[in-house]
Structure 1
Amino acid sequence: MDDQFREAFSNHSLDSQLPASFLNQNRQPTIIAENVFMCVLAITAVALRFYARKASRAGFWWDDWVTLMALPYSLAINIFSAELITVGQGVHLVTILHANPSPYFKQLYFEFVIYAPSLVFFKIAMLLFYVRLFPHHRWLKVSSWVLGVAIGIWLVIVECLIIFACNPIRRTWDRSVPGTCMDRGPIFIAQSIPTVIFDLIILALAVPLVWGVQLPRTSRIALIGIFMMGGLVTVISIVRLTYALKPVSSDFTWNYVDLSLWSDTEAPIGLLSVCLPTYGGLFRKFLERLHITRPVPCEITPASEARGQASQVRQSSRVSTPPMSDVESAAWFKELGDAGDHAGSGRKNTKSGFIVVTKDIKVLNGQESGRGSCCECSGETPTTPKSARRFF
């Protein structure tokens, strides 16, 4: 969108010596395929998230709604990117010299405007997910809110710089309009580098907590998955930054494709990384149907009972806490007595101000013969740290 781009239209002459194989090169099918796939991925990820949350009857919280808000921006990025092919994206500049450059730069302008918001919402959703997962860690809450505010301030600054880079705004895509424009290079870097920094901080925030908690296999696999996906978003941001720092090419309708393709993947992959932890219940049911896994012989608090107990606990507490899913709620009822026999034991949770009673569960021929909030298997009592809330 700099003057260098526009000068290419006037300085780039159609060389009759260029081979036909060069002139006929076309990356537009790749652009369409990638953006269609990313749209499907984003929609599927969010739809499965809400289906899983509803199926678990855990209720919805702010991280769910912010994730939903991120979806339109993610789709808009892919739609705008795909529409760029109608104004020359994906072919060599020499093949479209007859075209008016204004529609191309107008389309590119709107894509740049919505790019930053498409990244912000899933980052905020990730921070809210941390708050829901570790509600008792004050330092994590404070850090998440501080980082969220910093991301919001960055978004406002970047959006103002992009929107008002030219005065009047119309001059951004129509240089026949009198006015002035800022250099886009520093703005583009200011838009790209902080996203990498934010991604690294978000990943680093939960590392001490994740390695310090005891979780069942399914929960640990889900945590590993979300961190791998979150790390993938960071890798994509870094690769995109390397393309953004490259010198501007006169054949930008062709060379800009690489940067565009990497940009188009950030928001959908980010949405997937945020939604992945909520799929635990779906994965478990799917694997059980395939007979890959078997139901655990002693289950922590039946879902219906756990939800009822969790509801009573939340009503008795003045502190507002996020809704819990089937397995999340079990962590609220894992306060064991000091005696060796845990059956029917209980003690007061001094932090929350309520009494928790526990009882053993025995399984006979695959059926439960008792109900309670903990069980005894082979003489061992499962323990779950109070801070480790299961998040499916």
Structure 2
Amino acid sequence: MTYEENRYWKNVLTVVPICGAAVATLSYILRLYSRRFTSAGLKLEDWLMGIGLIISYCATAFVVDSAFNGVGLSLGTLPVDERRRIQFASWMIQKFWAPSAAFVKISIVIFLKRILGTVRAFSIVSNILIAFIVCWAVTALLGNTFQCWPVQYYYDKTLDGHCMGGQRSFFQAMGAIALVEDVIILCLPTPIIWGLQITFRQKVAVTLVFSLGGLVCIFSLMRLIEFREFITTDLASSSAKESIWTCLELDVSVICGCLPLMKPLIQGFLGKVKSGVSKGRSHPSSGTKLYAFPSSATHNNEGFLQIDDHLGSQASKGAEIMASDSRRSSDVEMQGIAVHTRIQQDVEPVPTDSTEALSGGPWAR
């Protein structure tokens, strides 16, 4: 039974993380291809997403390494060297989880800010959220690093040291905060989208694109629930499920962060979003765009539409006012032009004694 249990977790912790990392990598490659295809160039959020993906590889590597060192078995049944390696792998996974998640989340927030950042309230909330994510990641990294003193005591119990009290509570607190961040990122663009003057179908389509992040919330919640069974003194038997959810959370966050930028795939899934413009008009319909916000958005060079209600309406009104002023000034100038017409006629003098003149007859020319 011991051999079968070890083989099961060995297969699971090898196949699932590698497949998840492969799909995440493919998603990021398609994202980069989409950038190149649209000639938009790489943006800051693309670099941050790439860094988060690379860091997640490190966490995946240590999860796979733990699969070959008796994970799923009781720690007391393992040799000393395997016991130390599996505890070291658990310690290292914690170091890469928070930084990877932070880079991915900040990348998504910056992308949303690029699309919706012209709304002042959204821009302010986004900046606050980015600062909070940075503080959370630094706190989680430092807490996971120095939870034991000396730090090597976490994976080498032969040393003289100690660990802080409430380790599991600390892990649960960091996981709960991460879940709250995911929920905020998921709900952040919804009020703006549903406040636009667009059709109900367009609102639903755009909301579905942004709601893909709900999958990340599910995996974050599963990871948080698994910490209830997490035993810090027996990581070999209690860390298997937590390691799976950790890898899947990072991989799914990368996938969901890249999907909105893969326009051909998204359009194939959702179909072309129809605009409110009738088909009889000669100009092309804005419904062929991924995010179509008629009369309330402006194009950018990434192929997306940037919401700009306030500035767009002011610019339109300003153009109309300038045109009206121009017409009025032209009328004033035209009124100042005097047209002089002089008619010259040669008239012969009429004799005063002429009977024809007295009778009102025609003048002789």
- What TM-score, normalized by structure 1, do the two folds share? 0.67
Any conservation in 2 of the 1:335–1:349 contact (CA below 8 Å)? no
Mapping of 1:43-122 within 5 angstroms? 43-91=25-73, 93=75, 96-97=78-79, 99-122=81-104
Any conservation in 2 of the 1:35–1:264 contact (CA below 8 Å)? yes
Counterpart pick for 1:153 among 135, 139, 156: 135
CA distance in 2, matches of 1:251, 1:222: 46
Residue 142 (structure 1) shift: 0.5
Range with bigger deviation, 62-71 or 246-255: 246-255
Measured at CA, do residues 86 and 294 of structure 1 come closer, stay the same or move farther in structure 2, by a change above 3 Å?
closer
Measured at CA, do residues 204 and 222 of structure 1 come closer, stay the same or move farther in structure 2, by a change above 3 Å?
closer
Any conservation in 1 of the 2:193–2:203 contact (CA below 8 Å)? no
Alignment match, 1:187 = 170
Any conservation in 1 of the 2:299–2:306 contact (CA below 8 Å)? no
Report the AA paired with residue 83 of structure 1: D
Report the AA paired with residue 324 of structure 1: N
Measured at CA, do residues 252 and 347 of structure 1 come closer, stay the same or move farther in structure 2, by a change above 3 Å?
closer
Residue 294 (structure 1) shift: 12
List per-residue Cα deviations over 1:6-32 (Å, max 9, x = no partner): xxxxxxxxxxxxxxx354222211111
Counterpart pick for 2:4 among 1, 6, 24: 24
CA distance in 2, matches of 1:237, 1:354: 54
Any conservation in 2 of the 1:67–1:125 contact (CA below 8 Å)? yes
CA distance in 1, matches of 2:160, 2:121: 52
Alignment match, 2:126 = 144
List per-residue Cα deviations over 1:60-79 (Å, max 9, x = no partner): 32222211221111222211
Measured at CA, do residues 138 and 180 of structure 1 come closer, stay the same or move farther in structure 2, by a change above 3 Å?
same
Counterpart pick for 1:221 among 205, 223, 238: 205
CA distance in 1, matches of 2:273, 2:188: 34
List per-residue Cα deviations over 1:346-385 (Å, max 9, x = no partner): 94557xx999xxxxxxxxxxxxxxxxxxxxxxxxxxxxxx
List per-residue Cα deviations over 1:88-121 (Å, max 9, x = no partner): 1244556535655222211211111111112111
Report the AA paired with residue 273 of structure 1: C
Report the AA paired with residue 131 of structure 2: V
CA distance in 1, matches of 2:265, 2:233: 50
Identity %, equivalent residues: 22
Measured at CA, do residues 281 and 223 of structure 1 come closer, stay the same or move farther in structure 2, by a change above 3 Å?
farther
Alignment match, 1:175 = 157
Measured at CA, do residues 226 and 74 of structure 1 come closer, stay the same or move farther in structure 2, by a change above 3 Å?
farther
Alignment match, 1:272 = 255
Measured at CA, do residues 50 and 354 of structure 1 come closer, stay the same or move farther in structure 2, by a change above 3 Å?
farther
Measured at CA, do residues 335 and 193 of structure 1 come closer, stay the same or move farther in structure 2, by a change above 3 Å?
closer
Measured at CA, do residues 330 and 58 of structure 1 come closer, stay the same or move farther in structure 2, by a change above 3 Å?
farther
List per-residue Cα deviations over 1:201-233 (Å, max 9, x = no partner): 222221101222327968853540331x21111
Any conservation in 2 of the 1:300–1:330 contact (CA below 8 Å)? no
Residue 195 (structure 1) shift: 0.5
Any conservation in 2 of the 1:335–1:347 contact (CA below 8 Å)? yes
Report the AA paired with residue 66 of structure 1: L
CA distance in 2, matches of 1:330, 1:85: 48
Counterpart pick for 1:39 among 21, 28, 47: 21
Measured at CA, do residues 244 and 130 of structure 1 come closer, stay the same or move farther in structure 2, by a change above 3 Å?
same
* Counterpart check, 1:260 vs 2:243: yes
Measured at CA, do residues 330 and 201 of structure 1 come closer, stay the same or move farther in structure 2, by a change above 3 Å?
closer
CA distance in 2, matches of 1:246, 1:322: 50
Measured at CA, do residues 170 and 220 of structure 1 come closer, stay the same or move farther in structure 2, by a change above 3 Å?
same
Q: Supply the RMSD in Å over aligned alpha carbons.
A: 3.6
Alignment match, 1:325 = 302
Measured at CA, do residues 194 and 145 of structure 1 come closer, stay the same or move farther in structure 2, by a change above 3 Å?
same
* Counterpart check, 1:134 vs 2:116: yes
Measured at CA, do residues 349 and 50 of structure 1 come closer, stay the same or move farther in structure 2, by a change above 3 Å?
farther
Alignment match, 2:214 = 231
CA distance in 1, matches of 2:239, 2:322: 60
Alignment match, 1:315 = none
Any conservation in 1 of the 2:10–2:68 contact (CA below 8 Å)? no
Any conservation in 2 of the 1:132–1:322 contact (CA below 8 Å)? no
Query: How many pairs align?
Result: 301
CA distance in 2, matches of 1:154, 1:294: 38
Alignment match, 2:284 = 299
Compare the two structures and name the one with the higher helix fraction. Answer: 2
Residue 276 (structure 1) shift: 1.1
Higher-Rg member (1/2): 2
Residue 157 (structure 1) shift: 1.4
Any conservation in 1 of the 2:175–2:224 contact (CA below 8 Å)? yes
* Unaligned 5+ runs, structure 2: 289-297, 324-365
Range with bigger deviation, 238-247 or 37-46: 238-247
Report the AA paired with residue 30 of structure 1: V
Range with bigger deviation, 173-182 or 192-201: 173-182
Report the AA paired with residue 231 of structure 2: V
